Structure 1
Amino acid sequence: MSTDLTGRVALVTGATGGIGAALVDRLLEAGATIVGTTRDAAKAERDDRYSLIEADATDRASAARVVEEVERRHGAVDVLVPNAGSGTTRTLPDTTDEDWDEAIAVNLTAPFLLARAAVPRMADRRFGRVLFVSSLAAFTGGAIGPHYAASKAGLQGLVGFLASRYAASGVTVNAIAPALITGTTMGDALPDDAAAHIPVGRMGTTSEVAELAVAMLGNGYLTGKTMLLDGGLLAR
């Protein structure tokens, strides 16, 4: 059975990137109305079911402002996907304070602030779906750097805290953890032989990430989980 989110309003940050754009397409197919965020003011436009607004994930004040704007336009945020991400490849000695601060700000603080603004209101309405975008790096340390791995691992603690406290109010909270995905900034920067290390023999696609994400968002019995999508790299 396909996921039906007709009448639901979704907020997707980083909506114009590879995974974000694929997720928007799948959510539209599922019937949702979507507000996405972008850092490019020229893309901030709208139509009946999909609109874009300008927001900077490093700006702490923008999270509450974005949630309030979505509620002003559509009355509620039913589905929250903090998808915007940041990660520049660094070794431990090369990781600057600025690298660390940006990764934590975009990958962990911004999702927390969005959840803090949206989840209590979801609970009041007795319905909500939250899906954080983690990474295989949260489990293995990955190849991007310590700043990226730590920021993505922090999301798992956030999932556990929120899921256990809001499940009875109709709010599910999960994370998806993709790895080695083509059509993304990180995936496209990988060496040509990257797929040789993946058990399924190829890299994943943004549409496969979006397909799993929307399935998770449509399942009211799934909460408190981080789902790996990594071609079999980490068997668990």
Structure 2
Amino acid sequence: MSDKQTISVDVISDVVCPWCYIGQKRLEKAVAALPNVEVDVHWRPYQLDPTIPPEGKDRRQYMLAKFGSEEKLKQIHDRIVPLGAAEGIDFHFEDIRIAANTLDAHRVIRWAASAGEGVQNRVVKALFAANFEKGDYIGNKAELTRIAAENGMDEALVTSLLASDADKDAVQAEIEQAQRMGVTGVPCFLLEGKYAVMGAQDTAVLADAIRQVAEMKASGQLAAE
């Protein structure tokens, strides 16, 4: 392709999903590997567990109830930690004290999309890092406001919006839409609104999928479908 082709990638994810954090890093590398493709990334909401109360739950007790034993939980963490390290993620699962309900985090991510170029990506990355590498409680409105402000959003506006019910219904509607599309796990990368790549695929797999869709778009095949 002689001219840059713009491709949209909608990432359906949850910021308390470690595989989504790995997927974010791999997508970033895939985009960097495609200098002839302009990739427009949008982050879309999903909640792994919407039943967690607004104040959160003790994470250790929550995870033990979910996976059954310390041994099983250790096996899961031991599998994820080296995969994260390979992508530059320093997972500190032991520092996460509270399992957060992520509805408010998704509201902030939604608002970040209209806060300026690159802001949404920065906010998402900061939320992943806060939760998984620093053990910060991202269900806390003050913490969400701090992260938003540090990454280009209007602090007063975010504070005001978080104190209201703004966009709660819209976020939940997006999650329901993803479920109707057949999304049952995250991350899910939706290319040009048509082609889904499920899971935290390797960088090469993501890059190849984006390249193929870009070539199809450039040749007019997408419009013909």
What is the TM-score normalised by the length of structure 1? 0.29
Q: Which has the higher contact order (CA 8 A, sep 6+)?
A: 2
Q: Which has the larger radius of gyration?
A: 2
What is the TM-score normalised by the length of structure 2? 0.30
